[in-house]
Chain A
């Protein structure tokens, strides 16, 4: 039997659908240039995709057809040589919309394999964000803001080719830089994109992750019942009615906390999280009312606390809030838990506010897809330039 290569691409549903497709397709084409057959496909269970909800695409390549057939004999590979994560917030875990539980981002990376990520974070911080893994693996960081666009208008900011260049570097036996550049030139007729792949090939930084590093938490899991344990009639119990909330300091009860779906939490969908300045809140109710995910708990004093197990980070709350900097979407990577902001505020208002100010000051520019026609054309040159600069800085360091 020959050698089999499996590559997965973990991406944000819809926002990065076209990006993931470009990458997995080019992997197969580049390997094909070197005589290796392959196939690229999206994970069936992720279809239909939902904005932001993690999804996966795969590229399976082999040195010969028979080996490829062996690799294709299962829906989804159990191990991959290279895993590509096109949004660093996915390092917190991957909860697909179609199944149950949270998977560590590095779950399929085989011992000694490589996890490529586009991020502005430091490798050590990224390693800590991901779940702990028994065997060492390699992180390859492409310094760039994660690229998001939508279903119809693609933001062609070179993220795809940059990742392809990095693959040629970390897994040269899959395909060479020359092969992938050839594919890029043929597909895009854009020499600048071939150059971007080269830059990334030269400058991608790698980092060895040890078994001692990473989030030690057991990821949230769901045991699937056996057929005779399931209720007849395809019926399941409804969600319970909610209950009042209790102030952690005074013990006062009031407000309302809805009960929530216990088997799907949705927080792995989030790339930014809302933070609330409770002192600025005018209790207009709009964030609570307009939230499609019913994520706001109403406190006894009628403040609105974004429940971070339920929040998927859409940002509607910030958009509808009439008070400046009262509800603000900030960088999700700065948090390591989903605890209540209101409880933190009640216990230490000053500390909470100081932290809030720093979170707001360092929040990234929002990049969640299309806002107006011409936006990407305006943004892309600056993005490419900034990514160049970041990578150069990295190489010099």
Chain B
């Protein structure tokens, strides 16, 4: 007879996750802050907003582990901090390991009666450099461990932003970074397409019960994703797209608007994969259902200095790749499998 989930849970002494109710709207959000003022981030830093809303959703019984990046260097510059909840640094590629270590410790200590048995959330975050580049093996390993309750959140500002904007595996095609400057003979130095990281995590880890993409321009969904990730049990993953005024080169006032544009142009689809079921969220669902027309990517790209060198051909190519996500992918906007192959023709 096959082992049931419940039997498996007993065998591994599985610990019940923290049950957190979903928020019903902005007016129902708690007033308390667990990540507060005095961090040393840029004006209009959307990743700092991720930190704030992530712990606002998780609440005070939370341990946060942060890997190297802006959200480490700028938020926690020794002798000061902006964290109300306990926080600890982990190495650049180690968000997966950190989440696992903390969750394992709590599980062992509570089981052995050394600590009071109570729900404590474990969240480890990483940037796109620490996650999609260097941290992928650790995150992937953690997502295969069904018996540890933890959430890994990747805040993706699409570059190594702390070290002055070098391209990462998450930087969009063609973007200007200090490692991909448009030059006299090469207009486009960065020819790689952004990793489809959340879907990769969802598709490749059957033990991971919850994966979501979020954007803080849609804060209630983002906070509920954090709550679902912490409540469902086992390791979970959230990928947040964070407009970055420094690296994307725009007026910091527009952080919120650029997040909206990323979603409304279909460049950044919001979805969640819960127990293997894919669900498009909010405006992304409206786009998929035809209730809202996708905006042209031009509206998004030309508001950012990092794409100021784009020609019309470059913009058209970018548009064609986004169109492909929506028109050709077997699961539109999510999984890049197609039924037949078209030739890829990037502009010269």
Contacts and interface: CB of A to CB of B under 8 A. Distances in A.
Contact of B164 (A47, A98, A230, A258): A47
Nearest to B52: A294
A261 B81 CA distance: 6
Given A47-B164, A373-B308, A238 B84 contact: yes
B37 A372 contact: no
Chain B interface category by residue count? 35 or more
Contact of B84 (A47, A241, A285, A366): A241
B252 to A, nearest CB: 4
Interface of A: 13-14, 47-53, 97-98, 100, 150-153, 224-225, 230, 234, 236, 238-242, 255-256, 258-266, 269, 284-286, 289-295, 298, 307, 309-310, 312-316, 318-320, 329, 366, 368-373
B33 interface: yes
Contacts of B305: 150-153, 369-370
Contact of A316 (B40, B164, B255): B255
Contacts of A262: 38, 80
B164 A269 contact: no
B319 to A, nearest CB: 16
Interface centre among B41, B84, B216, B253 (most CB of A within 10 A): B253
B32 interface: yes
A48 B162 contact: yes
Nearest to B40: A97
A312 B29 contact: no
B137 to A, nearest CB: 26
B40 A150 contact: no
Contact of A289 (B29, B44, B255): B29
Contacts of B40: 50, 53, 97-98, 264, 266
Contacts of A307: 37
Contact of B253 (A284, A293, A315): A315
The 8 closest A-B pairs by CB, nearest first: A261-B38, A315-B253, A310-B37, A51-B42, A150-B249, A256-B31, A314-B44, A314-B43
The A contact surface, by secondary structure, is loop
Nearest to A14: B246
B92 interface: no
Nearest to B163: A48
Contacts of B304: 370
Given A47-B164, A262-B80, 11 more contacts: A48-B163, A50-B74, A52-B43, A152-B306, A153-B308, A241-B32, A258-B36, A285-B27, A315-B251, A368-B43, A370-B249
A61 B339 CA distance: 66
Contacts of B144: none
Given A258-B33, A259-B36, A48 B164 contact: yes
A371 B48 contact: no
A293 B219 CA distance: 15
A290 to B, nearest CB: 6
Most chain A CB inside 10 Å of its own CB: which residue of B27, B251, B306, B308: B251
Contacts of A238: 81, 83-87
A261 B80 contact: yes
Interface string B67-97: 0000001100111111111110000000000
A153 B84 contact: no
A319 B36 contact: no
Interface in B294-309: 302-308
